[in-house]
Structure 1
Amino acid sequence: MAQHRFHKMHGLGNDFVIFDAREHDLALSGDQARALADRHRGIGCDQLIVMRPSQRADFFMQIFNQDGSEAAACGNATRCVVALAGRDVTIETGAGLLGGTLADGAVTIDMGLPGLDWNAIPLAYAMDTLTMPVGWEDLADPVAVSMGNPHVIFFVADTHAVELERLGPMIEHDPLFPERVNVNVAHLADDGLHLRVWERGAGLTQACGTGACATAVAAIRRKLVTGPVPVHLPGGTLIIDWQPGGHVQMTGPTTHVFTGEIDL
């Protein structure tokens, strides 16, 4: 019986099962990832991560969503694998190379340049991504940003008044978004941005790192805030810094919950 070691970690409650396959190869299918992510019959997680060898970086990070589909980027997972590595590293992802540094118990990730053009999100057809002329019921005029994965951001008066469990899947699967989309609802307060996220392929989560980055970029583009800005999610707070034309920097904590073994 082949046992495979894994780590259970989370960033602000956004939780992951992480396998380190840098020395011993691990073939993992989408169906297996979905079964492992099941909170009733598997280990349970929002995303499943496999650390693999890379010719361009310290390692490659493969990301499976809860539904078994793959994602190119995940900010909270990136912080977790940096903490697991225990040193400053460069990580290859489907969205490109990301740099991670450890300092004072927190992890800072250089998330790269945000995608702001309609075809970088991607959208199904050309439109202004700063004030999109579209809407779903009371959610209208969003901003679109790519952080290696597609995000649409709505600024609202009260994030908890939005039926995100119902509207999130509707927007995620709208034909306007050929690769589906992560749905963010944000409110600007005196202490920063307050955010709830419906994650593509995962649903509601305690935190979404790329969602926090995309929302901060959207707010800065609309001149609502300047960086760095605290982004408060149900699971805790991330600090996002972005100067227009530059890279997005994300800083936040990680938690190692336990280590285990499983027969796949």
Structure 2
Amino acid sequence: MKFFKYQGTGNDFIMIDDREQTFNLSKAEIEMLCHRRFGVGADGLILIQDAEGYDFRMVYYNADGGEGSMCGNGGRCIVRFAHDLGIFDKETSFIAVDGKHEASVTPDLVSLKMSDTAAVSDKDGLHFYDTGSPHVIKYIDNLDELDVDGAGSAIRNSEFWKVNGGTNVNFVEAIDEQRIKVRTYERGVEAETFSCGTGVTACVLDRFVVAACQSPIAIVTKGGDLEVSFHVNADHSFTNIYLIGPAKRVFEGVLA
């Protein structure tokens, strides 16, 4: 089975062209492939499949082998993958677990339209957004010094989230009015990743709520820089959300 490795600001994925629907790996086998010592090494595995009425379907598996919710950087990477496969030229529409997405590509960037997002809600004392995946946000000074794995795991595995479906955890430091630094603890990976697309999207929307910052907002992650633009509705929900950043092929190979 041929595979490709892509990364978007350090969030890396195994990509498989499954348009003939021959993929049949188990949860344990997917987890092994994503393992950074015994497999290819990735934050997740993504299949590209045919889908009636769309250019393609995105099927995403977390690094633990379980099928996951929407992944923003994974979405940008699969758009680049589909473009590299010749499925579309400049603009595309595809279906993922959270519904329809639109995207466009340039030589350097992929712009991905994210799902509309409800107004902020409070969950266990933290701001919460569902941007295709669930995210809570906590503001931190001196973010570079934070033990993200420890602090993120404590929230992710708290009693509240054990009975409420689990969450990703984002730690944010404001740089200025239009820039933030974000570090994310991702469920499914159960560790900090270099970047999280749905996570930075949630953090940008929260900057509007907390500090009235206007679209677009730039984000600094461990893996590189991203930008999110958005529109705020009268009911404080969000539409026309775009996640913008690089997505690149790293290498390809064959699974033995």
Which residue pairs with 1:121 in the alignment?
none
Q: Which amino acid aligns with 1:262?
A: L
The separation in 2 between residues aligned to 1:89 and 1:65, in whole angstroms, is 24
8 Å contact kept, 1:56–1:92: no
Which residue pairs with 1:158 in the alignment?
142
- In the TM superposition, residue 29 of structure 1 has moved relative to its aligned partner by 2.1
For residues 11-64 of structure 1, the C-alpha deviation after alignment (integer angstroms, 9 at most, x for no partner) is: 011100000101242123211110100111111101111112212422111111
Which residue pairs with 2:165 in the alignment?
179
- In the TM superposition, residue 116 of structure 1 has moved relative to its aligned partner by 3.5
The separation in 2 between residues aligned to 1:22 and 1:179, in whole angstroms, is 31
Give 2:114's match in structure 1, choosing from 87, 93, 111.
Answer: 111
8 Å contact kept, 1:95–1:148: yes
- In the TM superposition, residue 224 of structure 1 has moved relative to its aligned partner by 4.2
8 Å contact kept, 2:98–2:115: no
% same residue: 27
1:252 aligns with 2:245: yes
Which residue pairs with 1:97 in the alignment?
100
Matched residue of 1:112: which SS?
coil
Cα distance change, pair 225–17 in 1 and its aligned pair in 2 (3 A): same
Matched residue of 2:112: which SS?
strand
| Structure 2, unaligned runs of 5 or more | 84-88, 234-238
1:18 aligns with 2:15: yes
TM-score (norm 1): 0.86
Matched residue of 1:243: which SS?
strand
Give 2:56's match in structure 1, choosing from 59, 65, 88.
Answer: 59
Q: Which amino acid aligns with 1:258?
A: F
Give 1:76's match in structure 2, choosing from 64, 68, 73.
Answer: 73
TM-score (norm 2): 0.89
The separation in 2 between residues aligned to 1:235 and 1:163, in whole angstroms, is 17
Matched residue of 1:70: which SS?
coil
Q: Which amino acid aligns with 1:195?
A: V
List aligned pairs for 1:116-155, cutoff 5 A: 116=119, 128-129=121-122, 132=123, 134=124, 141-155=125-139
| Structure 1, unaligned runs of 5 or more | 118-127, 135-140
Q: Which runs of 4+ in 1 moved over 6 A?
A: none
List aligned pairs for 1:236-251, cutoff 5 A: 236-245=224-233, 246-251=239-244
Which residue pairs with 1:227 in the alignment?
215
